[in-house]
Amino acid sequence: MIALRRRGWPHRLPASGARALIASAITVLASFGTGGVAMAAIAPAPVSLTDITVHGGSLTALLTVRASGTPVSLPAGSVTATVGNADAPVTLQPVTAGRRATTLLVDTSGSMGASGMATVAQAVNAFLASAPPDVLVGLVSFSDRPHALVAPTTDRGAVRRAVASLKSSGETTLYDGIFTAIAQLGTIGDRSFVLLSDGGDTRSRHTLSQAAEALTSSGVRAEVVGFKTDESQDSVLTGLAQAGNGSVASATNPTAVDSAFTAAARALSSQVRVQLAIPKGLSGRQQVTVTAHSGNHYWMAGRTVDLGAATAVDTAPSSAPATPAAAPVAPAAPRAAFSLLGMPWQLAAALAAVFLGVVGLVLALVSPMLKSARTKRVDSIEHYVNGTTPAAQGVPVSPSQLSNTLVELGEKVMEGRESTSRTMALLERADLPWRAGEWAVLRVVAVVVGIAGGLLLLHASTGQMVFGVLAGVVAGLLLPSFILRFAARRRVKQFEAQLPDVLNLVASSLSTGFSLLQALDAVARDAAQPAAKEFSRALAETRIGADVDESLERMAERMDSENLRWTGMAIRIQRQVGGNLAETLRTTAGTLRERESLRRQVRALSAEGKLSAYILIALPIGLFLYMNLVNHDYVSLLWTNLIGIGMLVAAGVSLVLGIFWMRKVVDVEV
């Protein structure tokens, strides 16, 4: 027989029973040394100490036992404790005396599907049926963004109705959902959430490390249910459970999900609030150990508590994170950005934009009416001279007048700018019948649309929204110019391709006895666009007195055609020195065809090099975007770490240099 005395438990057991108990104690001590969580003598049953407060000479904590089967009952005398190396008297208090709240944190992204939503509804019903009636239950879902659907309440019907209306769609914002759940639970009493997710996250504004830190600092307990574990990120779920001083359970089918939710509800029924009398002479950081037993199950939980500052500090490994002893402070769901008059800066900016837009519209509508008496008299004289009827007084301004006002404002902005002449030349070359003011209004509209598109696509965080606004401004400023240059270049290429046939048509007309003007008229009538329109314009200039050489030269400048300049030079020389103009034009057309053939041959030979350049340019950019999508934490080191920022800058410079170098290699002038 072996005598055993342990904290007031005088028993005499048979040798075999003592050996079994000693083996269990060794297991308990081993697990306590590695994480502060004990293992049961028969089956693993982790425990945790949360909601720790120190007041005067006593310490109060909530002991949660997660055991399978029926809820665990811990009667008086089954719980003992030590503070430091001294025994501490334990008093059990009703757990219902304090506030207990839990939030169901549900993944509703597109990966869940309709079957996943049915599983969620069934599991939530099982949880609500097993949870103690005094526990406040809330609901938070997360897909493209987190949504706090139901605040913690004892109305189980409200939670069931909200769960029944959940739909699966969009991306996943797991980490943002954790911040929302922490904020919803508040800072008072025992707080926990039950998370159902596969651990994936595709567009949160927060990171895994930030979510884990928020769980540790807030004291919220995390009960994690890993759904579809074949596709889940187990390390993420385990890290969240450890940071939240909770547990993680794998569930690959609806039955397993129901069991996991039911176990989380029974853990709430297995809670007991313990009050320890702190031994005299102890202060500062002390190890608090609580031991409990029920039947032949034994559990042990330990925390390091600062008795002076009344806060819990974790010195064990990450498997048992620390919980604040004083009323924990839950971080805000998204970190509050700059605010103006109590409102977020995004809302303030939107209201300012709406205000400026309304003011601009009112000014545009009212400005035609705000005319001086002198201006009205001058307008009356002009209307009389021109034979038009003056506008009636008091008639509302029409949309055409508003557009004219905006265009006139654009004309004033474009007037005197160096780029205006180049812009008008491009508009004329692209055959776009726009004025400079209309182009300015179009640029402003493009900037507004770009900003709206950037905010629509990138709105997950403040940084992304700022980047979206900047990207929208850049796109609105550069994209119209790029499209205009592309349209002008495309029309010039069509004109250049038609020019040899046009010259042959003029030569044939000259050979039949037509004059040069008659030959140009045939081109205007029979040639394809854009050659027909341009030669028709040149012919119209000659009919009002311009010389044909000057008309062809202006057409060459307008179309920026080097071939047409050579053609005009050949016609001018022939008219000065004489000769066969038809034969000269045929020779010129043949030369142009040979140059175009050589240009196409060079383009074909350099196509492989250009394709390789495009692939080499797109590969690092595409790989960066893909890695940012599938492993954001890994890629984020490039802009959150000084070395990473240097690498990113070096990579960008190298990419730009490579683009210019490859462009020079494959660009062959003919």
DSSP string, 74-112: --TTSEEEEETTEEE-EEEE-GGGS-EEEEEEEE-STTT
The pLDDT value given to residue 131: 84
Burial class (CB in 10 A: 0-12, 13-18, 19+), 617: middle
- Give the pLDDT mean for 272-279: 81
Q: Is the pLDDT of residue 25 over 70?
A: no
Entry field: residues in the chain: 670
Task: With a cut of 80, say whether residue 240 has pLDDT above it.
Answer: yes
Task: Please list, in sequence order, all residues whose beta carbon lies within 8 angstroms of the beta carbon of residue 387, skipping any fewer than 6 positions away.
Answer: none
Q: What's residue 347's pLDDT? A: 53
Closest CA to 239 of 210, 271, 219: 210
- State pLDDT tens for residues 471-487: 888 888 888 888 989 98
pLDDT at 459: 62
In angstroms, the CA 296 to CA 40 distance is: 8
Check: CB of residue 483 under 8 Å from CB of residue 442: no
What lies within 8 Å, CB to CB, of 95 at 6+ separation is: 62, 190, 271, 272, 273
Give the pLDDT score at 429.
85
Percent of residues, the chain, with pLDDT higher than 70:
75
Contact 2/15 with Cβ under 8 angstroms? yes
Token duo for residue 612 = 């390789």
Residue 19: what pLDDT? Answer: 38
360: nearest Cα among 301, 323, 320, 406: 406
The mean predicted confidence, pLDDT, of the chain is 75
Give the per-residue pLDDT at 497.
86
Per-residue pLDDT band at 636 (split at 50, 70, 90): confident
- Asked if 364 and 405 touch (Cβ cutoff 8 Å), the reply is yes
Q: Identify the pLDDT of residue 24.
A: 43
The reported pLDDT for the residue numbered 424 is: 85
- Write out pLDDT tens, residues 58-108: 878 777 776 555 667 777 677 888 887 788 888 877 776 678 889 998 888
Task: Please list, in sequence order, all residues whose beta carbon lies within 8 angstroms of the beta carbon of residue 607, skipping any fewer than 6 positions away.
Answer: none
The pLDDT of residue 653 is 93
Preceding peptide of 530 cis, ω within 30°: yes
Q: Please tell me the distance from the alpha carbon of residue 308 to that of residue 42, in angstroms, as a whole number.
A: 38
- Token pair for residue 241? 């459970």
Give the pair of three-digit tokens for residue 427. Answer: 């508009």
Angle subtended at Cα 285 by Cα 284 and Cα 291, rounded to the nearest 5 degrees: 125
Q: Stretch 20-48: mean pLDDT, rounded?
A: 41
Does the pLDDT at position 339 exceed 60? Answer: no
Q: How far apart are CA 204 and CA 146, in angstroms?
A: 9
The region of weakest confidence among 112-126, 264-278, 356-370, 437-451 is 356-370
Lowest mean pLDDT among 66-75, 263-272, 383-392, 516-525: 383-392
Question: What are the residue ranges of helices labelled H in 512-606?
Answer: 516-526, 531-543, 548-559, 562-577, 581-605
H/E stretch holding 483: helix 462-511
Both tokens assigned to 381: 């004289």
Q: Report the relative pairing of strands 90-93 and 58-65 from DSSP bridges.
A: unpaired
Mean pLDDT throughout 416-438? 82
pLDDT digits (tens, 9 = 90+) for 638-664: 888 889 889 989 999 999 999 888 888
CA distance 64 to 45: 10
Q: How far apart are CA 575 and CA 569, in angstroms?
A: 10
Cβ contact 89:290 at 8 Å:
no
Alpha-carbon span 461 to 468, nearest angstrom = 10
Token code pair at residue 129: 């049926």
> 305 exposed, middle or buried (CB, 10 Å; 0-12, 13-18, 19+)?
buried
Structural contact between residues 447 and 473, judged by C-beta atoms closer than 8 angstroms: yes
- CA separation for the pair 148, 154 (Å, rounded): 16
Beta bridge partners of 2: 13
Q: pLDDT, tens digit, for every residue of 487-521?
A: 888 988 888 888 888 888 888 888 888 888 888 88
- Between 53 and 374, the higher pLDDT residue: 53
- As given in the structure block, the two tokens for residue 47 are 């425990």
pLDDT of residue 651: 92
**C-alpha to C-alpha distance for 606 and 666, rounded to whole angstroms:** 6
- Residue 619 is predicted with a pLDDT of 92
Quote the tokens at residue 156: 């189980």
Tell me, what's the pLDDT at 3? Answer: 31
Q: Indicate the residue type of 653.
A: V
**Residues 492, 509 contacting (CB under 8 angstroms):** no
pLDDT band at 137; cut points 50, 70, 90 = very high
Tokens representing 369 are 């009416």
Q: Over pLDDT 90: what percentage of the chain? A: 4
Handedness of CA 411, 414, 417, 418 (dihedral sign): negative
Kindly give, in sequence order, each residue whose CB lies less than 8 Å from that of residue 207, ignoring residues fewer than 6 positions away: 175, 632, 633, 636
Structural tokens at position 360: 């601009």
Token reading at 196:
């159902």
The CB-side HSE value for 311 (13 A sphere, CA atoms) comes to 13
Mean pLDDT (whole number) for 366-389: 52
Residue 222, helix vs strand vs coil: strand
